[in-house]
Amino acid sequence: MTRIAVFPGSFDPVTLGHIDIIERAVPLFDKIIIAIGKNSQKQGYFTLEQRLNWLQELYVHEQKISVDFYEGLTINYCVAKNAGYIIRGLRSAADYEYEKVIAQTNKTLNHDIETVFILSNPEFSHVSSTIVKEVLRNGGDITKMVPLIVTRGA
């Protein structure tokens, strides 16, 4: 049985924290789909095309990773892609509380799909796409928070 996982997020932009979670998840699964979801509660800063291009370029040589876009419930996307796992990164206790509710809701909607939490490495626990965008809006340096490909496009 192939272990397919979905790593959903806005990736607006992709951060070094995202990359850390992805790279640590690769040995755990046969295939990982990095799925850029449309979040009705978030206004996009970067275009979908930019985000797709960045992720595709970052993982062009990693055969286990593909990049996609979806709308709607993540759990429905997982079913459509035959994914049995959802990957979520945790930076803090607040992240855990938020993600726990989502994972439990997903389990209610589809008992066959498991959420796998990967704890952030300490050097990335302060990094979020929201923080990166705020630093950008105010003219700050994001080079220690995002991959080089993002700084070239920001």
All structural domains of the chain with their residue ranges: 4-153
In the annotation, is 24 catalytic?
no
SS (H, E, C) 93-105: HHHHHHHHHHHHH
Q: What is the pLDDT of residue 153?
A: 72
In the annotation, is 91 catalytic?
yes
**23-44 pLDDT tens trace:** 999 999 999 999 999 866 767 8
Contact 14, 55 (CB under 8 A): yes
Q: In 7-28, which positions are buried (b, 16+ CB within 10 angstroms) versus exposed (e)?
A: bbbbbbbbbbbbbbbbeebeee
Say how far apart CA 129 and CA 134 lie, in whole Å.
9
Q: Could you say which of 3, 38, 42, 126 is catalytic?
A: 42
Q: State pTM to two decimals.
A: 0.94
**49-107 pLDDT tens trace:** 999 999 999 999 999 999 999 999 999 999 999 999 999 999 999 999 999 999 999 99
Q: Could you say which of 10, 91, 120, 128 is catalytic?
A: 91
CATH number 2.40.50.140 given to 4-153: no
In the annotation, is 137 catalytic?
no
**13-26 pLDDT tens trace:** 999 999 999 999 99
147 preceded by a cis bond (ω within 30 of 0):
no
In the annotation, is 88 catalytic?
no
